[in-house]
Chain A
Amino acid sequence: MIKLQNIEKYYAAKGLKSYILRHVSTTINQGEFVSIMGPSGAGKSTLLNILGMLEEPTYGTYEFMGEDVTSLNERKRIELYRNHIGFVFQAYHLIDEMTVAENIEAPLLYKKIGSAERRSRVADMLDRFNIVGKKDLFPNQLSGGQQQLVGIARALAAQPSIILADEPTGNLQSAQALQIMDLFKKLNEEENITVIQVTHSEVNAGYGSRILHLLDGVIKEDVNLSESLKP
């Protein structure tokens, strides 16, 4: 599904190149649950951004579903966002002016889905995440965990094939964090949605099937959990 070849990212400052990513090559298949780990400044978020086409690599090629997307124009990129990619952010990034239901509905509007279908999908999501009672509240009236649930519900509403999550539990208490991770695992296993998350937590990474360890922009280790755990 995702194929990175020799991805590099650097910023040139006063003639000196400061590298964020170096020689990153990897392949991620449909249905994998990948955690990207590493210390601060290792380039985790940049890698996720490149995977989400929010940033362009300085060098290297990126194939998404068999298509070279290394430098894609905005229109096509947005087309991919609409149909294949769901983002979940550490800071939830809900739209403050919209209610819970409207936040979940928004991607469907951009996807130009009919109103009956939209209503049923939103209702479905609210139901699934147990937030029916909160549908008319605004984000600032919810707790962090609840906001993140809405964020995930929004990402799932458009029925993406991949979810990119940047420290999804970073701002949450541990109980809430576990709930979110359970959810990801369930989605991955039951609906075969590819999940790629950036995380600091070993516990969170344990939910996945594979861990990419990043250090100073280089993949130091690529651990396949399903294999290592099942000897």
Chain B
Amino acid sequence: MFKLNLTIALRNLWKNKVSSFINVIGLAIGLAACLMLLIYVFYEWNFDKQSKNADSIYTALTNVRDNSGKIMVTFEGTTTAFAPALKEEIPEVKYISRLNYGSDRNLIANGQNSFKKLAKFADPDFLKMYDYQFIYGDPGTAMSDPNSIILTEGTAQTLFGSKDVLNKTIRFRDQFDLKITGVIKDPPANSSNQFDYLIPWSFYQTIDADAKDINWTNYSINALVSLNPGANVDVVNTKIAALLKKHDNQKYPAQFLYPLSKMHLYGKFEEGKSVGGAIEKIWLFMGLAIGILLIACINFMNMATAKSEKRAKEVGIKKTIGATRSSLILQFLTESLVLTIFSVLMAIALVELCLPAFNNLLGTDMHLPYLQGYILLWIVGIVLFTGFVAGSYPAFYLSSFNPVETLRRKTGKAKFLNIGFRQILIVGQFCFTIMLIIATLVIYKQIQYVKNRPLGIDANALVEMPQDGALKTRFNELRERLLKSGAVTSMYYSYSGLAHHDNNFSGMRWPGMKEENTVLFNKVFTTVDFIKTTGLKLTDGRDFSEKYASDSAAVLISKSAVKTMGLTDPVGKVLQVFSDKVTVIGVFEDYVWDSPYKANNPMIVNLNKKYPNVITMRLNAQRGLQENVETIERITKQLNPAYPVEVSFISSVYGDMFKQEKILGVLSNIFGALAVFISCLGLFGLVAYSAEQRTKEFGVRKVLGASVYSLMQLLSLSFIKMIAFAILIAVPLAYYGMGIWLQKFEFHTSISWWIITVAALGTLLIAFLTVSYQAYKTATSNPVDALKYE
């Protein structure tokens, strides 16, 4: 029985090549989108869940409150005293490791072979929390000696060209010699603790003043905690609150433990509560993929029910020779399953083809793991699901036919209700399509809008580079030589780059201040020629200068800072930053530094030479860019030979800020195009079928004198009407939805009428072209051919 069903299904597919092709292509694209989603969801879902004990690992978060006790910010990080106190006093803590903040790229070298690579400093417990696979070395002792280093496989390969490098020596930051005590497999890409090499915390304490100084005030490290099996994190958190009260006399406990495995998906906090995170991206992607799959399923249903007249006869015959309804349902489902299996094979090929580009876009490292049971299980699941969704309506609909009615009339007319359902499906398809087109256009317009917002600095010919190694102490020499070379017209160094997003504080006092300050200010430490180099617009006062010795206690403040403080004549006023008294010497127009989508915090700029981190340079516009950069590279390399030179243009640094929105734009572009394609494919199939069915009617009409135009109208108009109806539904929905999306941004564009017009007319045009091609073909065919058949 099944075998016969299968052969008949295959014969049917082969016989109706056009509709099979439409179905298979459509479903394959839909399934490919779904598979892609599946891989992506697995990737994101398994973030930080690779280790055996992932469930019991927590990271320390800190709530920042204003004076009323309201939580303003929650961030991942804690003080240096936190981890030792926890280890000492809370029995549930099994392992605990201090970690340095995020991405610290440091120089490591094997002789002349030197690279800047991602460092992680951690306590030995770190190895027990993650089960890293040691290729060489012993995890028990690898981190016990301070002067040791563990390399990842990839790092060992780049530095030594081999993995077997145990006990060799590596030079760190061009100052320290560390012994390699282990080589581990590269950590997975979907882990929040990324590194190229691992160095014991005990070593970090000897080179970093912040790490060495154990206190409750400097929130500059991370802490990873593993609790005993069965320990309740809420109980532990109350114990932590008591501990904080005891040691730090905190009115509200600032720190708490949060599951590391949830950090990635639910790591966005508002008022101390998790309000989402990467999970939003998953939802979005899921919606898109399922939408595309549904559109493809609708094609299938439409094609299948459109053919119902043809199949009805078969149903009737089979019923009279003893087929039950369920056996017919099974037959139709078999057909849709066969089709889905063809499609899924094609989909897998498509995924393989697109995955590299997709990885590139999302910055991930995903692949199709064929050999893992779960993915096969999921593929089978998707095939069954799709086959069932696509096949169920036709199956139940067709199998319900009454044999007499189907056998008696040769070509019956489809029932009204049947047409109604098909119309609803088409309208639904095009609704989704039009909404995607509008979304694409709105996202594009928003990105353009924010991109075109003046930055406030002269980003042209402005470059920055990290101030590594010898550059920290030889800045003046570098400056002299660069200025003399003519490549650079002015330069300064600072704690943070122009486009930064940290260093916010609230300990700000000013004359005439009424109550305690709750506004977060941003603090920038810089050196002379700050304004001159960046091209910021000075509205009042002057730039820092070497001529004034008093400038060490001077600040420049942004216009929004003036507004926040309510100063009328700011220059010369004395402000207080924590305990330091500083004098305002100038006011500058605000510029974009953190997120280009919102107004940033008021900023104060301090002259402070103690934080050499980033060098910013204004290139000489009279000379070629390339020439300038080459000169900078040459001179820097001479002064600081140990480090590679990394010059980056400020404009590209700003360009990177649009990455998330660009991804969103590309995604909605791709999915929008796919939706248009699949929907039109379905439309094409339906019109072709409807034309085929009405061949005789058209023949008669032509014989009676109907014009080509009137025949085309007859065939196209109903379809065009449906699209128009879809536009009517989709436009308000998209308008509302995208309106909400735009509200997320403080600076946002509006949804202008041209977007709606372009989307509506574009869809109508494409649909019209699709339909009219077929309609024209039918309308111009010879009536005799049509009438010959009977």
B404 close to chain A: CB less than 8 A = yes
> Bound state CA distance, A106 and B404, in angstroms?
19
Instruction: Please determine whether A87 and B11 come into contact, CB atoms closer than 8 angstroms.
Output: no
Segment 299-346 of B: residues with Cβ below 8 Å from A: 313-314, 316-325, 327
Interface segment, one of A33-41, A48-56, A176-184: A48-56
Instruction: Please determine whether B322 and A93 come into contact, CB atoms closer than 8 angstroms.
Output: no
Residue on B nearest A80 in the bound complex, by CB = B322
> Bound state CA distance, A43 and B1, in angstroms?
37
Report chain B residues within 8 Å CB of A105: 4
B12 close to chain A: CB less than 8 A = yes
Report chain A residues within 8 Å CB of B625: none
> Bound state CA distance, A96 and B12, in angstroms?
10
Report chain B residues within 8 Å CB of A154: 321
Instruction: Please determine whether B321 and A81 come into contact, CB atoms closer than 8 angstroms.
Output: yes
Q: A93-B316, A98-B8, A110-B327 are in contact. Are A78 and B322 (CB under 8 A)?
A: yes
Report chain B residues within 8 Å CB of A102: 4
Q: A93-B407, A97-B8, A109-B1 are in contact. Are A82 and B317 (CB under 8 A)?
A: no
Segment 58-98 of A: residues with Cβ below 8 Å from B: 74-75, 78, 81-82, 85, 87, 89, 91, 93-98
Instruction: Please determine whether A110 and B321 come into contact, CB atoms closer than 8 angstroms.
Output: yes
Partner of B11, one of A55, A97, A106, A109: A97
For the complex, count residues of A whose C-beta is within 8 A of B. Answer: 30
Closest CB in chain A relative to B677 CB, distance in Å: 30
A111 close to chain B: CB less than 8 A = yes
Report chain A residues within 8 Å CB of B12: 97
Q: Mark B395-413, 1 if CB is under 8 A from A, else 0.
A: 0000000111001101000
A107 close to chain B: CB less than 8 A = yes
Instruction: Please determine whether A54 and B320 come into contact, CB atoms closer than 8 angstroms.
Output: yes
B15 close to chain A: CB less than 8 A = yes
> Bound state CA distance, A37 and B403, in angstroms?
23
Report chain A residues within 8 Å CB of B325: 74
> Bound state CA distance, A210 and B307, in angstroms?
42
Instruction: Please determine whether A97 and B15 come into contact, CB atoms closer than 8 angstroms.
Output: yes
> Bound state CA distance, A78 and B403, in angstroms?
11
Closest CB in chain B relative to A147 CB, distance in Å: 13
Q: A93-B313, A93-B317 are in contact. Are A78 and B323 (CB under 8 A)?
A: yes
Q: A97-B8, A97-B11, A98-B8 are in contact. Are A107 and B407 (CB under 8 A)?
A: no
Instruction: Please determine whether A95 and B314 come into contact, CB atoms closer than 8 angstroms.
Output: yes
Report chain B residues within 8 Å CB of A81: 319-322
Instruction: Please determine whether A106 and B403 come into contact, CB atoms closer than 8 angstroms.
Output: no
Instruction: Please determine whether A55 and B322 come into contact, CB atoms closer than 8 angstroms.
Output: no
Report chain B residues within 8 Å CB of A97: 8, 11-12, 15, 314
A158 close to chain B: CB less than 8 A = yes
Instruction: Please determine whether A158 and B322 come into contact, CB atoms closer than 8 angstroms.
Output: yes
Partner of B320, one of A55, A75, A87: A87
Report chain A residues within 8 Å CB of B313: 93
Residue on B nearest A46 in the bound complex, by CB = B404
> Bound state CA distance, A74 and B400, in angstroms?
10
Closest CB in chain A relative to B396 CB, distance in Å: 14
Residue on B nearest A155 in the bound complex, by CB = B321
Q: Mark B756-774, 1 if CB is under 8 A from A, else 0.
A: 0000000000000000000
Q: Mark B273-294, 1 if CB is under 8 A from A, else 0.
A: 0000000000000000000000
> Bound state CA distance, A154 and B321, in angstroms?
8
Report chain B residues within 8 Å CB of A91: 410
Closest CB in chain B relative to A178 CB, distance in Å: 26
Instruction: Please determine whether A110 and B323 come into contact, CB atoms closer than 8 angstroms.
Output: yes
Report chain B residues within 8 Å CB of A89: 407
Report chain A residues within 8 Å CB of B323: 78, 106, 110
> Bound state CA distance, A102 and B11, in angstroms?
13
Q: Mark A150-178, 1 if CB is under 8 A from B, else 0.
A: 00001100100000000000000000000
Closest CB in chain B relative to A139 CB, distance in Å: 11
Report chain A residues within 8 Å CB of B15: 97
Closest CB in chain A relative to B567 CB, distance in Å: 87
Report chain B residues within 8 Å CB of A106: 4, 318, 321, 323
Instruction: Please determine whether B316 and A110 come into contact, CB atoms closer than 8 angstroms.
Output: no
Closest CB in chain B relative to A168 CB, distance in Å: 14
Report chain B residues within 8 Å CB of A52: 320
> Bound state CA distance, A119 and B643, in angstroms?
83
Closest CB in chain B relative to A82 CB, distance in Å: 4
Residue on A nearest B327 in the bound complex, by CB = A110
> Bound state CA distance, A51 and B708, in angstroms?
49
Q: A54-B403, A89-B407, A102-B4 are in contact. Are A95 and B318 (CB under 8 A)?
A: yes
Closest CB in chain B relative to A74 CB, distance in Å: 7
Closest CB in chain A relative to B146 CB, distance in Å: 78
Instruction: Please determine whether A95 and B317 come into contact, CB atoms closer than 8 angstroms.
Output: yes
Instruction: Please determine whether B316 and A107 come into contact, CB atoms closer than 8 angstroms.
Output: no
Segment 1-30 of B: residues with Cβ below 8 Å from A: 1, 4, 8, 11-12, 15
Q: Mark B578-592, 1 if CB is under 8 A from A, else 0.
A: 000000000000000
Q: Mark A88-127, 1 if CB is under 8 A from B, else 0.
A: 0101011111100010011101110000000000000000
Instruction: Please determine whether A75 and B324 come into contact, CB atoms closer than 8 angstroms.
Output: yes
Closest CB in chain B relative to A64 CB, distance in Å: 15
Partner of B324, one of A45, A78, A107, A155: A78
Report chain B residues within 8 Å CB of A55: 404
Residue on B nearest A45 in the bound complex, by CB = B408
Q: A95-B314, A97-B8 are in contact. Are A82 and B322 (CB under 8 A)?
A: yes
Report chain A residues within 8 Å CB of B410: 91
> Bound state CA distance, A215 and B428, in angstroms?
53
> Bound state CA distance, A49 and B324, in angstroms?
19
Instruction: Please determine whether B324 and A110 come into contact, CB atoms closer than 8 angstroms.
Output: yes
Residue on A nearest B321 in the bound complex, by CB = A107
Report chain B residues within 8 Å CB of A78: 319, 322-324
Instruction: Please determine whether B324 and A54 come into contact, CB atoms closer than 8 angstroms.
Output: no
Q: Mark A124-159, 1 if CB is under 8 A from B, else 0.
A: 000000000000000000000000000000110010
Report chain A residues within 8 Å CB of B403: 54
Residue on A nearest B1 in the bound complex, by CB = A109
Report chain B residues within 8 Å CB of A87: 320-321
Report chain A residues within 8 Å CB of B316: 93
Report chain A residues within 8 Å CB of B318: 95, 106, 110
Residue on A nearest B320 in the bound complex, by CB = A87
Q: A54-B403, A89-B407 are in contact. Are A109 and B4 (CB under 8 A)?
A: yes
Task: Kindly name the residue among A82, A85, A110 whose own CB sees the greatest number of chain B CB atoms within 10 A.
Answer: A110
Closest CB in chain B relative to A196 CB, distance in Å: 14
Report chain B residues within 8 Å CB of A98: 4, 8
Instruction: Please determine whether B317 and A110 come into contact, CB atoms closer than 8 angstroms.
Output: no
Instruction: Please determine whether B321 and A158 come into contact, CB atoms closer than 8 angstroms.
Output: yes
Closest CB in chain A relative to B19 CB, distance in Å: 14
Q: Mark B404-426, 1 if CB is under 8 A from A, else 0.
A: 10011010000000000000000
Report chain A residues within 8 Å CB of B322: 78, 81-82, 107, 110-111, 158
List 15 additional contacts besides A54-B404, A82-B321, A93-B316; criterion CB under 8 Å.
A75-B324, A78-B319, A78-B323, A81-B322, A94-B317, A95-B317, A102-B4, A106-B321, A106-B323, A107-B322, A109-B4, A110-B321, A110-B324, A111-B322, A155-B321
Q: Give me the interface of B with A, judged by CB distance under 8 Å.
A: 1, 4, 8, 11-12, 15, 313-314, 316-325, 327, 402-404, 407-408, 410
13 interchain pairs, CB-CB under 8 A: A52-B320, A54-B402, A54-B403, A81-B319, A82-B321, A82-B322, A87-B320, A93-B313, A98-B8, A106-B4, A110-B318, A110-B324, A158-B321
A-B CB proximity, top 5 nearest? A82-B322, A110-B322, A107-B321, A54-B404, A81-B322
